[in-house]
Amino acid sequence: MKRGGGRDSGHDSSEEGIAEKSKRLRTASEHSQTCDWGNLLQDIVLQVFKYLPLLDRAHASQVCRNWNQVDSSKESAEAACDILSQLVNCSLKTLGLISTARPSFMDLPKSHFISALTVVFVNSKSLSSLKIDDTPVDDPSLKVLVANNSDTLKLLKMSSCPHVSPAGILCVADQCHGLRELALNYHLLSDELLLALSSEKHVRLEHLRIDVVSENPGQTHFHTIQKSSWDAFIRHSPKVNLVMYFFLYEEEFDPFFRYEIPATHLYFGRSVSKDVLGRVGMTCPRLVELVVCANGLRPLDEELIRIAERCKNLSAIGLGECEVSCSAFVEFVKMCGGRLSQLSIMEEVLIPDQKYSLEQIHWEVSKHLGRVWFPDMMPTW
């Protein structure tokens, strides 16, 4: 009986041991499942990142949002500057300074960045493509660029470079006669710049991208470019794509679309009024693509019809938070015809009327497009 009791006691003890181990394993498993590596303390992740090569650090920063932020923009920018400073025996043709976490290079001391970039400009005698967005590049460094690469530079992209003045970018246009693509902020655009790009010694520009951005309503002054400057520019480069991105507040649109401008692609990232869109139809006859992220609750029927009448090259349109009656939209598509290669319209934009319901409109639009078309659906997840 004692042995039996002993066995029973030992058996119970063994079961308790197994149960306890099982509990610990479950706890460990649950902890492993709930442990989110993306939520590690940023100081810890940063210490790990410091041991990674620059390329691996860039890959790691794409794992999740937290790691993207931890990939210290300043640390990465300093590493990039160190690399640039060592390129004394390397002649680059393409240079793009890209940051996965903005702003990066702007966090560096200006002198440190400029000295590193100058090394590249001085030693690269055949630089053809330069992309330096969100950097502290300045007018003197651009003069060094021009002095050493004026015969080869074809593409220059430098949006959000606050230390560059209109005179600095004008220096580039005056000397780099082979420029074919140029991207910059609107505050760098001037009548003098357009006239320089229109001179006989300059090649025909293929792409001009302008970012018109305002962060603080009412605190940014936007100048007006003269129509004569645009006319001279188009006479010299009749096939140029003029791409304009607008991120303005309503009261800041007054200087724009008052007379004809040669824009081919217009993107409105913030809400834009019926009045402004009506002026677009009257002043942008070269328009090829139009994207409106938001407008309001007043239907854009007349504005769309005017754009269809005046913009004979329009082939792509996208409408987000806007309203258009189904009948006006069908008329718009009918006027544009099969040249509308891209038609991205959210279903919520289309307002049913006496003539067309939402169930009927896709058949009618498809008939005029010559292909099957459906409005875009808002994702439900």
Region for residue 67 given its phi and psi (left: phi exceeds 0; alpha: psi -120 to 50; beta: otherwise): alpha
Give yes or no for residue 220 having a pLDDT over 90: no
Judged by DSSP in three states, 242 sits in strand
Q: Which of 299, 279, 298 is nearest to 290 (CA)?
A: 279
pLDDT for the residue 54: 58
When pLDDT is averaged across residues 329-357 and rounded to a whole number, the result is: 93
- 186 neighbors 222 (Cβ within 8 angstroms): yes
When pLDDT is averaged across residues 312-320 and rounded to a whole number, the result is: 95
Q: Which of 182, 172, 169, 165 is nearest to 148 (CA)?
A: 172
Mean pLDDT of the chain: 85
pLDDT for the residue 21: 58
- 138 neighbors 103 (Cβ within 8 angstroms): no
Judged by DSSP in three states, 349 sits in helix
Give yes or no for residue 10 having a pLDDT over 60: no
- Amino acid at position 88, single letter: V
When pLDDT is averaged across residues 248-261 and rounded to a whole number, the result is: 91
pLDDT for the residue 180: 97
Tokens of 190: 């001037």
pLDDT for the residue 307: 96
pLDDT, tens digit (0-9, with 9 covering 90-100), for 186-208? 999 999 999 999 999 999 999 99
Q: Which of 294, 293, 287, 295 is nearest to 316 (CA)?
A: 287
Tokens of 202: 């300059």
- 170 neighbors 192 (Cβ within 8 angstroms): yes
The sign of the CA dihedral 272, 275, 278, 282 is: negative
Number of neighbours of residue 72 by Cβ within 10 angstroms: 20
Range in 91-100, 257-266, 312-321 with the lowest mean pLDDT: 91-100
pLDDT, tens digit (0-9, with 9 covering 90-100), for 125-147? 899 999 999 899 999 999 999 99
* Half-sphere exposure in the Cβ direction for 198 (13 Å, CA): 16
Give yes or no for residue 12 having a pLDDT over 70: no
State the distance between the two ends of the chain, measured CA to CA, in whole angstroms. Answer: 66
Give yes or no for residue 175 having a pLDDT over 60: yes
Give yes or no for residue 3 having a pLDDT over 50: no
Give yes or no for residue 45 having a pLDDT over 70: no
pTM score: 0.80
- Cα torsion for 27, 31, 33, 36, to the nearest 10°? 180
Give yes or no for residue 237 having a pLDDT over 50: yes
pLDDT for the residue 72: 52
Q: Which residue has the higher pLDDT, 68 or 308?
A: 308
Query: Would you place residue 19 in the very low, low, confident or very high pLDDT band (cuts 50, 70, 90)?
Result: low
Which domains are assigned to the chain? 40-72 (1.20.1280.50)
Residue whose entry in the numeric block shows the structure tokens 């590193």:
116
